[in-house]
Amino acid sequence: MSSCYGENLRLSIFGQSHSPAIGVTIDGLPAGYPLDTDALNRFLQRRAPGRTNLSTPRREEDAFEILSGMADGRLCGAPFAAIIRNTNVRSKDYSALRDTPRPGHADYTASVKYSGFQDVNGGGHFSGRLTAPLCLAGGICLQLLAEEGVRIGAHALRIGGVQDTAFDAAHVSETDLDAIAGDIPVLDAQAGEAMAAAIEAARAQGDSVGGVVECAACGLPVGLGDPMFDGMENRIAQAAFAIPAVKGIEFGAGFGCAGMTGSTANDPFRMENGRVVTQTNNHGGILGGITSGMPLIFRVAVKPTPSIFQRQNTVRLSAMENAELSLKGRHDPCIVPRAVPCVEAAAAIAIYDAYLSWKKLH
């Protein structure tokens, strides 16, 4: 199994980098909502390749076609399905990779798992391109959550050693999310410029850089999420690790709280305008797996693009011998900027799914 997600929604993502199309089906969306396809398209464009000279030269329009689930411009209660055609496909670039797997990629593990029958072109189902249908699904959930007063936004907190301003965890608001801007989405434009320079420097050496994406959700009701295996942390983590290259996730103070004492890590409760809030937000808006009404904050670690243009050591599987590899093809020197909307999408899917569970008891 693999590409299904959800308790109330049931999401199924399909497609390979070079198959006729990629897409997503979503069962469980409520009937009646007038989906804004223009807004959905704009959200998808934030992830699309080829927009800036920081990303892969492969340019795809990423125009989606809705196949089902709508009637008269509204969600109609039937399963939603949409696809994106793969148009700009150059399969010959990848033929050698079946035998000499790229370090840091799924080439080797997929080859063993699928006994050599995996689609090797462009990384097949393991391609970052599969985040397009993830964003399609996430973009819909973002719209539905906005209807309920929930806003989600993310920014590049770190790229190649350059740090953006972090969210003020206890006070991040819709206004802060609106302030995120730039080809590299950041709060501090200067940090964004320094990040762009770091990416350019890596590209010049045929190398790549990683980073951290920080995400916040504001306006959540108290009570989303469930104990143990279906807490908000579990749910968001399960969705976020669907983004290739994510290797870590932390909520609130996260790994930082490992070095704290209880007296500094605990967030005291207090009343504010008739509402229960916490003074600080080390808990990242989640206590016992359940939303506290404070901003939900998490960060994910994104590894450097594994496709680099320096010579690398690998093996030749047919001969079971050592080999060398020099990559060609089209690859981002840093995927963090494009990962930002993907992280928002993953968060939106997980949160909206939990929201539907919550609603059935309210």
Our CB check for a second copy shows the closer of 142 and 220 to be 220
Q: How far apart are CA 150 and CA 45, in angstroms?
A: 22
CB of 175 to a second copy, least distance (A): 26
Cβ neighbour number for residue 222 with a 10 Å cutoff: 14
Contact in structure between 185 and 154 (CB atoms under 8 Å): yes
CA distance 44 to 342: 9
For residue 183, the minimal CB distance to a second copy (Å) is 19
Beta bridge mates, 291: 286
**Which residue lies nearer to a second copy by CB, 61 or 99?**
99
Considering the complex, what minimum distance in angstroms separates the CB of residue 282 from a second copy? 8
Residue closer to a second copy by CB (options 178, 269) is: 269
Query: How far is it, in rounded angstroms, from Cα 135 to Cα 44?
Result: 6
Q: Are 66 and 140 in contact (CB under 8 A)?
A: no
Residue 115 burial (C-beta neighbours within 10 Å; 0-12, 13-18, 19+) = exposed
Nearer to a second copy, 25 or 43 (CB): 25
Minimum distance from residue 271 beta carbon to a second copy (Å)? 6
Cα 296 from Cα 152, distance rounded (Å)? 9
Q: Provide, rounded to whole angstroms, the least separation between the CB of residue 225 and a second copy.
A: 8
- Cβ proximity to a second copy: between 179 and 317 the closer is 317
